[in-house]
């Protein structure tokens, strides 16, 4: 197994599909696709680093990081993130941001988004 992974932003592998959890859905009917580059959520253990490509269709959900740290680089699309108690921030293709442990807010996918993610925790 190689310890060097090239990030293909258009993976040719089959993604894992998902829908928003009922208790996190605010509006719309967003669908999610995840191409994990290493450990899947089920395989991850406390402190494990997970990386991959994630895509979401339009909709609005509650985002809670809990004890995880997440770095995101938006490849394409348009989103708005509103941290509880703060003004909304808009991100588009080429933008990057970090959500630290304890983050709570609203994730609005305005135009289908694809991102590279790195999650620790």
pLDDT attached to residue 43 = 56
pLDDT attached to residue 5 = 83
3-state secondary structure 42-70: CCCCCCCEEEEEEEECCEEEEEECCCCEE
Sequence-ordered alpha helix ranges (H) in the chain: none
pLDDT attached to residue 4 = 86
pLDDT attached to residue 38 = 79
| Spans of the chain, pLDDT less than 70 | 1, 39-47
C-alpha angle with apex 64: 62 to 70, nearest 5 degrees?
A: 120
Q: What domains are defined for the chain? A: 16-120 (2.60.120.10)
DSSP state at residue 96: E
């Amino acid at each position: 197994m190689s310890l060097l992974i090239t990030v293909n932003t258009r993976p040719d592998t089959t993604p894992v599909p998902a829908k928003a959890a009922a208790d996190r859905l605010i509006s719309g009917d967003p669908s999610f696709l995840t191409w994990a580059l290493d450990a899947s959520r089920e395989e991850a253990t406390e402190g494990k680093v997970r990386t991959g490509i994630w895509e979401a269709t339009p909709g609005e959900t509650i985002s809670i990081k809990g004890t995880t740290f997440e770095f995101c680089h938006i490849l394409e699309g348009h989103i708005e993130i509103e941290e509880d108690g703060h003004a909304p921030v808009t991100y588009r293709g080429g933008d990057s941001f970090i959500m630290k442990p304890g983050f709570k807010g609203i994730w609005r996918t305005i135009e289908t988004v694809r991102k590279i993610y790195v999650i620790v925790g």
